[in-house]
A and B are shown apart, each in its own frame.
Chain A
Amino acid sequence: MTKKIVITGIGATSPLGGTAADSWSALLAGESGTSPLDHEWVARTQLPVTFAAQARVPSIDVLTRHETKRLDPSSQFALIAGREAWADAGSPEADPERLAVDWATGIGGVWTLLDAWDTLRERGPRRVLPMTVPMLMPNGPGAAIGMDLHARAGITTVVSACASSTESLVNAYNRLQAGLADIVIAGGSEAAIHPLPIASFAAMQALSKRNDDPATASRPYDITRDGFVLGEGAAALVVETEEHAKARGARIYAELLGGAVTSDAYHITAPDPEGTAAARAMITAIKNAGASLADVSHINAHATSTPVGDIAEYNALRRVFGDLLDGIPVSATKASTGHLLGGAGAIEALFTVLALAERMAPPTINLLNQDPSIPLDVVTMPRTLPSGDLLAISNSFGFGGHNAVVAFRSI
């Protein structure tokens, strides 16, 4: 029998704020999390892109100094978001053997890896710190949360580029449905604002180069969009069986209806222009939710602000929803947050959950001239969603041809 699965806690540290609530209110206020990078390495490495969406609250302001020393920045973000979500869920008295973590990252501990490489080359092997491997490994962020909250039912990390943390939510749902845990902390984190990923993403023409106007650089669906803005941070959701949540009197934000994962097997970075597999992920997620297309009342799109990606997703959406699409408000929140890569799906799922809980679709900023080949009902100012049962989906797609979609229902 299918169990009801619910969201009982949220946490985030993002370019919009140091908590989920602060990130949400900055999003509704139409703020941009993007700003110029003022690190010395920007000029030294002659980067073609000199801005990013950096975490608004530095981790060192939240964690102890020795926590920051033993954790890669991606794990620091994870720990901050995970702890907040857990506290938000009421710090449940959970059986550790029934508590799991489904985490995600796109790149892992890239700062640790590259710093250690510099140390090795410049100062020799004796100066490479013993914590280097546990800090750089991609499962480090999930392990940091799991250790902190004593999760002993399993800690799993998905690595599927920008689809990672949507996939981690699907995994959390499946883990709970399979009866392998009562509570899962799910989400993702990324801390890749480092010259190497910037240079590499820029080399593939994926990043916006709007150095003269960073705050409006991320502009999904705009005719002048020229690439994504690299972001960083983490978001965590406490996912729980309704039975367990109700037994402890937990507050419930929304119901997680599961989701779907498919793969293009088309090109390592370019999305399939037909959007066949992306469409199948959406259709399957809605079908798995026991819903019909007409039930979908809000979409948080992947929409990274790349010329090719936004239109490919639109094609997939049109393929799925047909004329129904014209009546569905779509939010592209990367306009404000930038692209958190492995954390993107989680923060967008968090925003989708809050959109349902507060019946308010968040705005898509920086949309001045909507691309005529993408005729979507884009939410540009916060928009009240109707009363009654609401169903929303959040899309994520990643290099490697990964497509992941999650579906939520209002309470």
Chain B
Amino acid sequence: MALSTEEVLTGLAELINDETGISADTVEMGKSFTDDLDIDSISMMTIVVNAEEKFDVKIPDEEVKNLKSVGDAVDFIVKAQV
């Protein structure tokens, strides 16, 4: 059963917290991974690998550069689930 936007956001925030220590409740849809959350490329790739596992989706490497904000990633995952 596919997860809702809200559920994916919560799950992604947990992964981001795990990897970076950034508090999960500061992970909001409008935040940029690099400019707002200061997530480096190696952490970003770790989060992507863990997100693929957690949400059972594929996030191709060439797609990662388009996922600039938390919202971009959440939307991608929600669509990819179906």
Contact between A66 and B20, CB atoms less than 8 A apart: yes
A-contact bits for B22-44, CB 8 A (1 contact / 0 none):
00000000000000000000100
Mark the stretch among A12-20, A123-131, A347-355, A356-364 that contacts chain B. Answer: A123-131
User: What residues on A are CB-neighbors of B52 within 8 Å?
Assistant: 126
Contact of A373 with B by CB under 8 A: no
Contact of B49 among A67, A69, A129, A134 (CB under 8 A): A129
B10 adjacent to chain A (CB < 8 Å) = no
Instruction: Give Cα distance in the complex from A131 to B17, angstroms.
Output: 16
Does B49 lie within 8 Å of A127, measured CB to CB? yes
Asked if A129 and B21 make an inter-chain contact with CB atoms under 8 angstroms apart, the answer reads no
- CA–CA, A67 to B46, complex, Å? 14
* Smallest beta-carbon distance A114→chain B, Å: 19
**Contact status A66-B45, CB under 8 Å:** no
Residues of B within 8 A of A127 (CB): 49, 53
Residue among A69, A126, A128, A130 making CB contact with B18, cutoff 8 Å: A69
17 contacts between A and B (CB under 8 A): A64-B21, A65-B18, A65-B21, A66-B17, A66-B18, A66-B20, A69-B18, A70-B19, A126-B52, A127-B53, A128-B49, A129-B49, A130-B42, A130-B45, A130-B46, A131-B42, A134-B42
* Shortest Cβ-Cβ A-B pairs, 3 listed: A66-B21, A130-B45, A130-B42
Chain B residue at smallest Cβ distance from A133? B42
Interface residues of B (CB under 8 A from A): 17-21, 42, 45-46, 49, 52-53
Task: For the complex, give the distance between the alpha carbons of A12 and B20 in Å.
Answer: 26
CB neighbours (8 Å) of A129 from chain B are 46, 49
Chain A residues, Cβ within 8 Å of B46: 129-131
Q: How far does the alpha carbon of A342 sit from the alpha carbon of B69 in the complex, in Å?
A: 43
* Contact A69–B42 (Cβ < 8 Å): no
Chain B proximity of A112: nearest CB distance (Å): 13
In contact, B49 and A126 (Cβ under 8 angstroms): yes
Residues of B within 8 A of A64 (CB): 21
For the complex, give the distance between the alpha carbons of A129 and B15 in Å.
Answer: 13
| Bound-complex Cα distance A151 to B28 (A) | 35
Q: In the complex, which of the residues B17, B46, B52 has the most CB atoms of chain A within 10 Å of its own CB atom?
A: B46
> Closest CB-CB distance, A140 to chain B, in whole Å?
14
8 Å CB interface, A64-97 against B:
64-67, 69-70
Supply 19 further A-B pairs (C-beta < 8 A) apart from A130-B49, A131-B46. A64-B21, A65-B18, A65-B21, A66-B17, A66-B19, A66-B20, A66-B21, A69-B18, A69-B19, A70-B19, A126-B49, A126-B52, A127-B49, A127-B53, A129-B46, A130-B42, A130-B46, A131-B42, A134-B42
Interface residues of A in 253-301 (CB under 8 A from B): none
CB-based nearest B residue for A128? B49
Closest Cβ of chain B to A259, distance in Å, is 38
For residue A66, which residue of chain B has the nearest CB?
B21
